A and B are shown apart, each in its own frame.
Chain A
Amino acid sequence: MSTGMIFYLSGLAILLGINLIAIWGLDLQFGLAGINNFAYIVFQAAGGYAAALLALKPASAYGSFETYIGGFNLPFPLPLIGAAAVGGLLAVPVGLIALQRLRADYQAMAMLVLSLIATGLAQAQTGLVNGPAGLALIPQPLVGAFPSSPLGYHWIFLGLTAVCCALTWWVARGISRSPYGRLLRAVRESESAVSALGRNPNALRMTVLIAGGAIAGLSGGLLVEYVTAWGPSSWLYPETFLFLTALIVGGKGNLAGGALGALIVPIGIVELTRRLPAFGYPGMIDSLDWVAIGACLLLFLWFRPNGLIPERKQMFRERSTERTGSRMREAFAGRRTEAR
Chain B
Amino acid sequence: MTAESQAVTQASATLLRVAGLACHFGGVLAVQDATFDVRRATITGLIGPNGAGKSTVIDLISGRTKPTRGSVRFGGAEIVGKRPHQVARHGIVRTFQQANVFGGLTVLENLLVGARPWRGESIAAALGPRRAWSGREAEIVDLAWDLLRRFGLEAIANEYARELSGGQRRLVELMRALMARPKLLLLDEPMAGVSPSLALSIADRLMELRDDGMTMLMVEHELRLVEKLCDPVVVMARGTVLAEGSMAELQSNQEVVDAYLGGGGGR
A interface, size bucket: 35 or more
Interface string of A306-334 (1 = CB under 8 A from B): 00000101111011110111111101111
State which of B62, B116, B120, B215 has its C-beta within 8 Å of the C-beta of A196: B62
Chain B: CB-nearest residue to A200: B85
Check A180 for interface membership: any CB of B closer than 8 A.
yes
A319 touches B118 (CB 8 A): no
Within B83-129, the residues touching A (CB, 8 Å) are: 83-85, 88-89, 93-94, 96, 100-106, 108-110, 112-114, 116, 118-123, 125-127
- Residues on the A chain within 8 Å of B121, using CB: 178-180, 183, 199
A186 touches B102 (CB 8 A): yes
**Chain B residue total in the interface (Cβ 8 A):** 64
State which of B40, B105, B157 has its C-beta within 8 Å of the C-beta of A189: B105
A195 touches B102 (CB 8 A): no
State which of B64, B120, B143 has its C-beta within 8 Å of the C-beta of A327: B143
Check B150 for interface membership: any CB of A closer than 8 A.
yes
B146 touches A325 (CB 8 A): yes
State which of B84, B144, B212 has its C-beta within 8 Å of the C-beta of A192: B84
Check A181 for interface membership: any CB of B closer than 8 A.
yes
A180 touches B123 (CB 8 A): yes
- Residues on the B chain within 8 Å of A316, using CB: 106, 108-109, 141, 144-145, 157-158
State which of A177, A182, A194, A336 has its C-beta within 8 Å of the C-beta of B112: A182
Instruction: How many A-B residue pairs have C-beta atoms within 8 angstroms? Tell me.
Output: 171
Check A197 for interface membership: any CB of B closer than 8 A.
yes
> Interface-forming stretch among B26-34, B48-56, B173-181, B233-241?
B173-181
B157 touches A333 (CB 8 A): no
Given known contacts A178-B125, A339-B41, A198 and B116 CB-to-CB distance under 8 angstroms: yes
B123 touches A183 (CB 8 A): no
- Residues on the A chain within 8 Å of B211, using CB: 336
Distance to closest chain B CB from A55 (angstroms): 27
Max chain B Cβ within 10 angstroms of own Cβ: one of A179, A186, A333: A179
Sample 24 A-B pairs with CB under 8 A, ordered by A number: A179-B120, A179-B125, A180-B122, A183-B121, A186-B110, A195-B84, A197-B85, A197-B113, A198-B85, A211-B123, A316-B106, A316-B141, A316-B157, A316-B158, A318-B145, A319-B138, A324-B146, A325-B150, A327-B143, A327-B146, A328-B147, A335-B183, A335-B212, A336-B211
Q: Interface on A for B, CB 8 Å cutoff? A: 171, 174-175, 177-183, 185-186, 188-190, 192-201, 207, 211, 311, 313-316, 318-321, 323-329, 331-340
